[in-house]
Copies of this chain bind each other. A is one copy, B any other.
Amino acid sequence: MIIELVNTGTELMLGRVLNTHQQWLCRQLADSGYVVSRQVAVPDTGSAILAAVSEALARADIVITTGGLGPTSDDITRELIAGSLGKELREDPDVMAHIRQFFEARNRRMPKSTLVQALIPDGALVLKNPHGTAPGLAIELRPNPFRPGNAGWLIMLPGPPRELRPMFTDSVMPLLRCVLPIASAFVCRTLRATGIGESSVEERVAKPLQELLQDGLQLGYCARPGQVDVRLAAQTSGAEKIVNRAVAIVREKLGVYLYAESDAEIEDTLVSLLSERNETLALAESCTGGYIAHRLTNVPGASSVLLGGLVTYSNRAKEKFLGVRSETLDAHGAVSESVAREMAQGAREAMLSNYALSVTGIAGPSGGSDLKPVGTVFIGLAGHFGCIVERNFNPFDRKTFKEVTAQQAFDLLRRKLLAGI
């Protein structure tokens, strides 16, 4: 089964937006055994879209496009594709009614241009859009004019993620399972390690996994800030068994470096660990500015674990909410081991939590000194055992600094929890 993805949008080519569709769709498809073999992005010009779609149809059984179905003048995919396939556009009364009702329910006046979205190419299946006005379209090509001797499906989805995603899950996946079922399941597991580099991970696991490669194991590595992913996949008979054996090997070889046996984030692991133990956490963030709290609160169920967080950018906030002493601030500076310690202890006491993490550092671009250059960070962890403080050096741009520092803070607590403190 050959599947290709075509993302349209001039804003993609100008780098004005991030293409989140690519990851999301590839992930959903792969998890069901439909692995995308090529993804292409082109601008919203007729010739570029037509070339990309017809080339993809010449290779693939399924081509999925995103974007270009909206109401504005640069949304041309619907008309263009219908034209190239020689299909008339006709107004669909159901879609028409849905669009009208969509505006009425929101008490908003309907711009006339919106109705162009009710035009459907002859013979296309309409994919409902409960979250917006542009329906998706699925066209069976039997035969596929671009790939003689083959049939194919062209599926066109709207650009906004909150419209595309439910449409894909509720309409496209069931359609694919029905019309183009997968023969042998694709099994894919991602294991995630932190505190260890990519080469060292390979040194530990590559040899022990060698034998399984001959059985059809696919092995990949991916390094990210503060994290290395090991990807284990197979698409043969016995795929499940092969991948399970590989997982067991990686688990043994990476030990405590491994924080998840799925592609969970480290904060997911942490919320699970704390929930299991019925324990709670408080946060006191300076340089990470709420990023650690944000990541934790992305995890459903975080509210039973995280009692609260303080973003104490100013010294005043550190003193008032965390009880950091002004003498400590004066003597050691806000970025210091002592302040990290008082922040963690203060947060734990104020919120009556089992643990508290604190972070104080210099994210940059300015504010560094010889003794404490940009990238210096102190991470504190308070618990019934007292308080430990780690000093790290993360000389990255502001966002990477936040990412790596959060990863280290999460890992500090994770290791302590695993050590059974």
Q: Within 8 Å of chain B (Cβ to Cβ): is A314?
A: yes
Q: Which segment of A139-147, A198-206, A268-276, A383-391 sits at the interface?
A: A198-206
- Does A211 count as interface, using CB distance less than 8 angstroms? no
Q: If the complex has contacts A22-B41, A30-B14, are A290 and B294 also in contact, measured as CB distance less than 8 A?
A: yes
Whether the pair B113, A199 counts as a contact (CB closer than 8 A) is: yes
Q: Which of A121-129, A215-223, A246-254 contacts B (4 or more CB under 8 A)?
A: A215-223
Known: A220-B44, A298-B399, A313-B308. A16 touches B229 (CB 8 A): yes
- Given contacts A38-B41, A70-B223, whether A18 and B23 have CB atoms under 8 Å apart is yes
Interface size on A, residues (CB 8 A): 108
A43 at interface by CB-CB < 8 Å: yes
Q: Is the CB of A231 within 8 A of B314?
A: no
Q: Is A365 an interface residue (CB 8 A)?
A: yes
Stretch at the interface among A71-79, A87-95, A237-245: A71-79
On whether the beta carbons of A162 and B397 are closer than 8 Å, the reply is yes
**Distance A219 CA – B75 CA, assembled complex (angstroms):** 12
A264 at the interface (CB under 8 A from B): no
Residues on B with C-beta less than 8 A from A31 are 15
Given contacts A202-B72, A298-B398, A310-B308, contact A316 B221 (CB under 8 A): no
Are the CB atoms of A307 and B317 closer together than 8 Å?
Answer: yes
- Which residues 1-56 of A have a CB within 8 angstroms of B? 9-20, 22-31, 35-44, 48, 52
- Nearest CB of B to A70, in Å: 7
A344 close to B (CB within 8 Å):
no
B311 touches A283 (CB 8 A): yes
CB-nearest residue of chain B relative to A67? B222
Q: Which of A362-421 contact B (CB under 8 A)?
A: 365-366, 396-400, 402
A162 adjacent to B396 (CB under 8 Å): yes
In the complex, A256 has a CB within 8 A of chain B: no
Q: Does A224 contact B (CB under 8 A)?
A: yes
Across-interface contacts of A306 in B (CB, < 8 A): 289, 311, 313
